[in-house]
Structure 1
Amino acid sequence: MKKTETISENKNYTAINIGSLEDIKSYSHIHPKLGTEIKGKVFVKTPSKATGTEISFTTIPPKAELGYFHLHYKDEEIYIILKGSGYYQVDDDCFPIQEGSVIRVAPEGVRSLCNTSDEEMVYICIQAKEHSLEEHTTDDGKRIAFTPKWKI
């Protein structure tokens, strides 16, 4: 089983490397409630020391499905399809997805997806507490004059 690599860190950041999109299928995850192994999935909250989101990268083989439907109690999820195509279902709605599709699902939405393409599907899932984002983009920050070290 592949492990994430810490690139660099200090009190204000943690940088990790999970490898290429091809490397994602080398990871596996033991589902904490079911005890079953999920191949081709890597979570980055713990290795990156994130405190406000859980982010995972997942692969689904060609002509395969995620294998289960689920919902959440507090967290919404955003799915970003990086490679492949197929269908996404939320409750009774089923719609086509492909590279570049972005799907937000409220906590109570019952969800799953499948890969109908001949290539591996790769997607990112970002999970965060619904309605927790108070400030975003330029409202949450300011520009700072700083000399980039890559130019020195």
Structure 2
Amino acid sequence: MAEITNIRQGKNYTVGETGNLDALDAKLFLGQALGFTGMEVSLNRFRPGQEVPFVHQHRQHEEMYLFIKGHGQFQVDNETFEVKPGTVVRVLPEAKRAWRNNSSEDLYCIVIQANVGSLTDNDGIINDDPLTWPS
């Protein structure tokens, strides 16, 4: 079973290791272990024939699904479409959703949840600090 290990923290960062995703049982939430305060991220593995056993919605969170390996189907508001490596799906909170692996190989995706409408423009700041890398 995959879990977050080797957690290292600095004043402004947290690093963890999940190991090989083939050890992932079904879902691994990263938020609590890494201390997220504005989003949730999960790593997901669905074995052949496995599916989300219910349709669900969210109160405040929009979600982004990034499929990284395998093939399956995703359903939003009764519309079904195929997903494969590189498919990215954005779903608003009120949308009804589910997904499944209808293939013969494992299906992996990363899901990111954040409060809808919470992003601001021009949040990035380029610093004048010199960039140096260790040899």
What's the secondary structure of 1:150's corresponding residue? coil
What is residue 106 of structure 1 aligned with on the other side? 92
1:103 shift after superposition: 0.2
Return the alpha-carbon distance in structure 1 between the equivalents of residues 2 and 80 of structure 2. 33
Among all aligned residue pairs of Structure 1 and Structure 2, give the percentage whose two residues are the same amino acid. Answer: 33
What is residue 19 of structure 2 aligned with on the other side? 19
Structure 1 segments, 4+ long, off by >4 Å, are: none
Return the alpha-carbon distance in structure 1 between the equivalents of residues 100 and 92 of structure 2. 19
Q: Is the 8 A contact 1:6 1:14 kept in 2?
A: no
Deviations 1:24-54 (A, max 9, x none): 22xxxxxxxxxxxxxx211001111111110
Return the alpha-carbon distance in structure 1 between the equivalents of residues 14 and 63 of structure 2. 23
1:23 shift after superposition: 2.0
1:122 aligned residue (108, 126, 130)? 108
What's the secondary structure of 1:47's corresponding residue? helix
What is residue 43 of structure 2 aligned with on the other side? 57
2:81 aligned residue (75, 95, 98)? 95
1:149 shift after superposition: 4.0
Q: Is the 8 A contact 1:83 1:123 kept in 2?
A: yes
RMSD: 1.6
Return the alpha-carbon distance in structure 2 between the equivalents of residues 84 and 117 of structure 1. 8
Return the alpha-carbon distance in structure 1 between the equivalents of residues 5 and 130 of structure 2. 28
Query: In 2 relative to 1, CA 12–83 (structure 1 residues): closer, same or farther, beyond 3 Å?
Result: same
Calculate the TM-score normalised by the size of structure 2.
0.91
What's the secondary structure of 1:64's corresponding residue? coil
Q: Is the 8 A contact 2:2 2:21 kept in 1?
A: no
For structure 2, the residue ranges without an aligned partner over 5 or more in a row are none
Whose helix fraction is larger, Structure 1's or Structure 2's? 1
What is residue 66 of structure 1 aligned with on the other side? 52
What is residue 126 of structure 2 aligned with on the other side? 142
Calculate the TM-score normalised by the size of structure 1.
0.82
Return the alpha-carbon distance in structure 1 between the equivalents of residues 101 and 128 of structure 2. 44
Higher relative contact order (CA 8 A, sep 6+): 2
